[in-house]
Structure 1
Amino acid sequence: MGIPLAWSNWVLPRLDLELPGRTAANAGFATGYALMFRGRPNWLSARGLGCGLAAAGVVAAGYGAAVAIPAIRDRLGGFVDRAPDVPLGEWIAVHIPIGTVYSEELVFRATLNRLLDNDFGPCRGALIGALTFGLWHIRPARAAGDSVPASIAATAAGGLVFDLLRRRTDSATAPALLHFAVNAGGALAPHLAAARSPNS
């Protein structure tokens, strides 16, 4: 548990890398961590693919509804400035799937959560894994100027959902697809909302 937390909150920030470097470093760390602790992502699971696409579809529909409702659309459009300083296409096609989704799902759902299940049982293992996933986001929350407690709570809750999908499918593919839908939708929806706003 301590290794991912030290990486995310201490080691990676001190490397002072630009976004492409952080993406590569995160992916390299996740791959090494999974190899060291015998992670089992089971990426080619048909059940994981099917459940993941269904879950991602629900999220995409939710974002679509949010962009279509004027009151929510106006609020969403205000988050355009939170995007990183790279083209939106690069952010969605490279940095989210590799630097975030691949890295976090390989570290947590494919590796750490399985180890915690073995040591603490499914229920306590899920809770400890979700809390660790929340704590992984301390430094990113500070860098974004977000509330750290709120970020920990939100990402821990997300971790519970991702882990539930992993348990139901025995694959990291399902949570990875849902994770991508949440993050990519969160990046794209504000731009769509701003484009559709009467003030744009």
Structure 2
Amino acid sequence: MRPRVVAAVVAPLLWNNWLLPRLALNRRGRTAAGALAATGYAFAFGGRPNWLSGRGIQVGLGCAAVVGAGFAAASAIPAVRGSLAGAGDRAADVSTLEWIAVHIPLGTVYTEELVFRATLDPLLDKEFGSVAGTVLGGAAFGLWHIHPARAAGDGVVATVAFTGSAGMVFGTLRRRTGSATAPALLHCALNTGGALLARHS
């Protein structure tokens, strides 16, 4: 593996699991720092999000609509709603509006999609091919969540496995549309739906 690709893999993992936690920022500070770091990372490693892709927007909105319908159906069933809400409130320090309008789209979706789908995945595809790139990109995305899982008291192995699988889905959407917009819209719909259920169930 070329040194540039090694650096592209290692840098975000060190940032999210080691450096960012040591800055001891509040939620707003973490959101701002994450977005700035992601932007710098994309510039450094040649990220190409292609945010305005028509196909990316179309596919992403379709995926988000399916997810939204699923959450709406789940919220109408008390047992399912209670189960989905069991994870609890992950952002009790901010209002619902701020959580879903700022921290999810900017601190999570923009940051992660710019780092992984727009920048790292294309580098891995070029180095290893799209199949291996999908797996390796998903694995890196899973490992990105080690510290957040520990901080939330979640099982690290389960979190890495789940988010790694999600990363492969998001990566596949990026590869099929040529844009990070499709996975970003799906990612935003999933996180927003989960946040609303956690707050209003």
User: Which TM-score band (shorter chain)?
Assistant: over 0.9
Conserved in 1, the CA contact under 8 Å of 2:89 and 2:195? no
Give the Cα separation in 2 of the matches to 1:120 and 1:84.
42
What SS class does the counterpart of residue 176 from structure 1 fall into? helix
**Counterpart amino acid of residue 93 in structure 1:** A
Counterparts of residues 172-191 of structure 1 (less than 5 Å)? 172-191=180-199
Give the Cα separation in 1 of the matches to 2:106 and 2:122.
21
Instruction: Give the direction of change, closer, same or farther, for the CA distance of 1:190–1:30 in structure 2 (3 Å limit).
Output: same
Percent of residue pairs bearing the same amino acid type: 62
Aligned pair partner of 1:151 in 131, 134, 159: 159
Give structure 1 stretches of 5+ with no counterpart.
194-200
What residue number does 1:196 align with?
none
1:96 aligns with 2:104: yes
1:78 shift after superposition: 3.9
Instruction: Give the direction of change, closer, same or farther, for the CA distance of 1:77–1:134 in structure 2 (3 Å limit).
Output: closer
Give the Cα separation in 2 of the matches to 1:56 and 1:43.
16
TM-score, normalised relative to structure 1: 0.94
TM-score, normalised relative to structure 2: 0.93
Give structure 2 stretches of 5+ with no counterpart.
1-8
**Counterpart amino acid of residue 56 in structure 1:** A
What SS class does the counterpart of residue 175 from structure 2 fall into? helix
Spell out structure 1 runs of 4+ moving beyond 2 A: 74-84, 190-193
What SS class does the counterpart of residue 44 from structure 1 fall into? coil
Instruction: Give the direction of change, closer, same or farther, for the CA distance of 1:105–1:77 in structure 2 (3 Å limit).
Output: closer
Give the Cα separation in 1 of the matches to 2:90 and 2:97.
15
1:169 aligns with 2:181: no
**Counterpart amino acid of residue 30 in structure 2:** R
Conserved in 1, the CA contact under 8 Å of 2:140 and 2:164? yes
1:77 shift after superposition: 4.1
Deviation track 1:133-155 (CA, whole Å, cap 9, x = no partner) reads 00000000000000000000010
1:85 aligns with 2:93: yes
Give the Cα separation in 2 of the matches to 1:29 and 1:136.
14
Counterparts of residues 1-200 of structure 1 (less than 5 Å)? 1-193=9-201
Instruction: Give the direction of change, closer, same or farther, for the CA distance of 1:77–1:39 in structure 2 (3 Å limit).
Output: closer
Deviation track 1:40-90 (CA, whole Å, cap 9, x = no partner) reads 000000000000000001111111111111211232344444433110110
Conserved in 1, the CA contact under 8 Å of 2:89 and 2:199? no
